[in-house]
Amino acid sequence: DTEVTQTPKHLVMGMTNKKSLKCEQHMGHRAMYWYKQKAKKPPELMFVYSYEKLSINESVPSRFSPECPNSSLLNLHLHALQPEDSALYLCASSQVGANHQPQHFGDGTRLSIL
């Protein structure tokens, strides 16, 4: 069983919809991550939060808006997405610090944009 929980598991939305992806962990990790993974490709880093502050934004379009309301929760707000945004969105968490890797991954949300 994964220790990082992502909801929903599947999401279908139109290009004008607004939806949110949720991620939760109770391992006491203070770094949390969002990745995007297309089929047959490796995960691509989108955002990193460290101590609930955004520390890395990999030039992600503004239609993706991350939020870290507390140390256990990470959200990804979606608005006006494009068909090419259809992918598996993975959340991960880890301790902060070079000696406290690796990252623990959730099972992802499979997003389809109509």
Partner 1 sequence: AQSVTQPDIHITVSEGASLELRCNYSYGATPYLFWYVQSPGQGLQLLLKYFSGDTLVQGIKGFEAEFKRSQSSFNLRKPSVHWSDAAEYFCAVGATTSYDKVIFGPGTSLSVIP
Least distance in angstroms from the C-beta of 103 to partner 1: 7
Least distance in angstroms from the C-beta of 114 to partner 1: 21
Least distance in angstroms from the C-beta of 54 to partner 1: 12
Q: Closest CB to partner 1 among 22 and 79?
A: 22
Q: Closest CB to partner 1 among 41 and 77?
A: 41
Q: Closest CB to partner 1 among 40 and 59?
A: 40
- Determine contact, residues 6/75, Cβ cutoff 8 Å: no
**What is the Cα–Cα distance from 9 to 29, expressed in whole angstroms?**
22
Q: Closest CB to partner 1 among 66 and 106?
A: 106
- Determine contact, residues 80/16, Cβ cutoff 8 Å: yes
Quick one: which of 18, 58, 12, 35 has its CA closest to 104? 35
- Determine contact, residues 111/20, Cβ cutoff 8 Å: no
Question: Which positions lie near partner 1, rule CB under 8 A?
Answer: 2, 4, 6, 31, 33, 40-43, 45, 48, 50, 55-56, 90, 92, 94, 96-99, 101-108, 110
Give the pair of three-digit tokens for residue 31.
């770094």
Least distance in angstroms from the C-beta of 49 to partner 1: 10
**What is the Cα–Cα distance from 110 to 87, expressed in whole angstroms?**
6
